[in-house]
Structure 1
Amino acid sequence: MDPLLPRTVDAYLERIGADRPVRPDAPALRELQLRHLLAVPFENLSIHLGEEIVLDEAALLDKIVARRRGGFCYELNGAFAALLRALGFRVTLLQARVHGDGGRLGIPYDHLVLRVETADGTGPWLADVGFGDHARGPLALDDRGDQKDPAGTFRIAPVTAEADAGFGDLDVLCDDEPRLRVEPRPRTFADFRAGAWYHRTSPDSHFTRAPVCSRCTDDGRITLTGRTLRTTVGGRRHDTALGDDAEVLAAYREHFGVRLDRLPNNSDLR
């Protein structure tokens, strides 16, 4: 990937409301991840608007920084990786699979996460701004103990010998429930194109079932699915039914900074 221009870095930092860090250390990484989660929504709207999803750095930066949209894991973590590299962090792309209902694992390249090395010699860190309701801070990748986070107690554990494909796979658990299985081998952006294609086209992908837009808030999370706006504060949920199209479009603008000229819907799938 080409280095980001200074003005692009400045615009990205402005987008997430973050100052340029003095050095690429662990506190800076923690602040950048949190700011990203608070500012940039996790959303699958392109799928339901009939928009092409291009896993290309320039296209992603245009979408997230210039157009002030969000995206799903490949887009959000792909763009975040570019920002971190421009700020001096060492970043490796890793593939992960999501633990679904009944412990069933998702497809290979189901999810993209980041291995980040910092200048202060801590870590390496597992950073992720593309998994919806997940850890708000980076997780210490080599730590096998409990890691406290506002989103819960996380733990990273080696998978059993029977389940390991021979690459030293790791399970990420939250409150003892498995969330992700991470393969520590380095990957390139191109490796994730098949996974992105599956998630934007397959009827078996939960991304094709309904449009969703969601982001962290200081005290919880706010999510818009269809015509329902859900606010979660301290574990308590409150649903608000929205009315006409204008009210839904206004909610996208007000709560997520996303400006659309029409509503996303399933008839736009392709």
Structure 2
Amino acid sequence: MSATTATTATTATTSMASLTGTPGTPGTPALSRSGTAAFLDRLGGVAAGPPSVAALHRLHAAFLEHVPYETLDIQLGRRTGIDPLVSVDRIVRLRRGGYCFQLNGAFAVLLRSLGYRVTLHQGGVHRPPKGRPAIDGSHLTLTVDALPDDPGGRWLVDVGLGDGFYDPLPLRQGRFVQGGILQARFRFELAASEVRAGAWQLRHPDGSGFTGMDFDPAPASMADFERRHAYFSTSPDTHFRQLCTVVRRHAAGSDVLRALTLTRRARTTVRRTLERRPDWFAVLDEVFGLPLGDLSEAERDLLWRRVVSQHEAFLVRQSRRCSA
């Protein structure tokens, strides 16, 4: 471990002490009052209020608007953990994002700290073009139930899908449309999964990063995702390593950065290539809210070299397809 990494880890551990409060349920981390306030401030100062359907929608939207899906540390070969409190510190103090294990893990801590009943579930995401349904622990998703104004209902909650749903979905079979004339239109469908009896399948025909997700209704724990996280963080064969991806879902649609290509999907879709290093880092800061103050100059150089290389490889593939 480098001196810089050791210092960061020590600071993170110290910060956790101010975030941790009395667990809401045995074995479940929770935040202190000040830790909860700091998290809500990170989400734009969203008003939490007591648990309700409307408050859950507000919190879900605020998280997506302010905390991006991002895999920058995987690109850099940085080993990060998925302990929920470490993920909270990453999001609140370092002003970073993460991927499903980190984002949904941290969001579960916030919701539980606010009095919500949250359950973790093992899932699997189908990625285009040939992704197949699976429940293999490659995705962490959440459900919330027992809301005072919807005591018999259950809601699918997921802030770790990238360009997924903006508002929580009621966990019942059916089709749902989010967006409209002035925003990007996202269609979703919840149905019974064919992978496992009693499991659910989320279908997302308009998704660019994923087209569906199956999940098991049985409760899971963060330990169930450690093996997959270790693989995703280190293997050169995963899409997390092969393509740098940053996504921010917002009310109008989504912003997606893949290598050097920035795509803004709203009422219309606009793409541009960020060919200059200052422009690329400025977009991370100004569009995705990632100032990256925790990265050294050497790490920024390495990150820039990797995304340039990925973009050049994309151009080669595109040229071969055109000439075929």
- Same-fold call, TM > 0.5? yes
CA distance in 1, matches of 2:306, 2:281: 16
CA distance in 1, matches of 2:63, 2:250: 11
1:106-255 equivalent positions in 2, closer than 5 A: 108-117=136-145, 118-120=147-149, 121=151, 123-141=153-171, 143-150=172-179, 151-160=185-194, 163-164=195-196, 166=197, 168-175=198-205, 179-243=212-276, 245-255=277-287
Question: What SS does the corresponding residue of 2:78 show, helix, strand or coil?
Answer: coil
CA distance in 2, matches of 1:4, 1:174: 33
- AA partner of residue 146 (structure 1): R
Question: What SS does the corresponding residue of 1:200 show, helix, strand or coil?
Answer: helix
| Cα gap change, 1:144 to 1:2, in 2 (>3 Å) | closer
Gaps of 5+ in 1: none
More strand by proportion, 1 or 2? Answer: 1
Number of matched pairs: 261
1:83 counterpart = 2:83: no
TM-score (norm 2): 0.75
TM-score (norm 1): 0.89
Gaps of 5+ in 2: 1-27, 180-184, 308-324
Deviation at 1:182, TM superposition (A): 1.0
Q: Is the 8 A contact 2:176 2:187 kept in 1?
A: yes
Q: Is the 8 A contact 1:89 1:119 kept in 2?
A: no
Deviation at 1:259, TM superposition (A): 2.0
Deviation at 1:198, TM superposition (A): 1.7
Match of 2:132 among 85, 99, 104: 104
More helix by proportion, 1 or 2? Answer: 2
Percent of paired sites with the same residue: 35
The structure whose RCO (Cα within 8 Å, separation 6+) is larger is 1
- AA partner of residue 153 (structure 1): R
Deviates more, 1:51-60 or 1:233-242: 233-242
- AA partner of residue 140 (structure 2): L
Q: Is the 8 A contact 1:17 1:39 kept in 2?
A: yes
Q: Based on CA coordinates, which of the two structures has the bigger radius of gyration? A: 2
The aligned residue for residue 59 of structure 1 is 86
Question: What SS does the corresponding residue of 1:185 show, helix, strand or coil?
Answer: coil
CA offsets 1:138-182 (integer angstroms, 9 cap, x no match): 1111x212223225232211124xx42x4x111112349950111
Deviation at 1:266, TM superposition (A): 4.7
| Cα gap change, 1:233 to 1:176, in 2 (>3 Å) | closer
Root-mean-square deviation over aligned CA pairs:
2.1
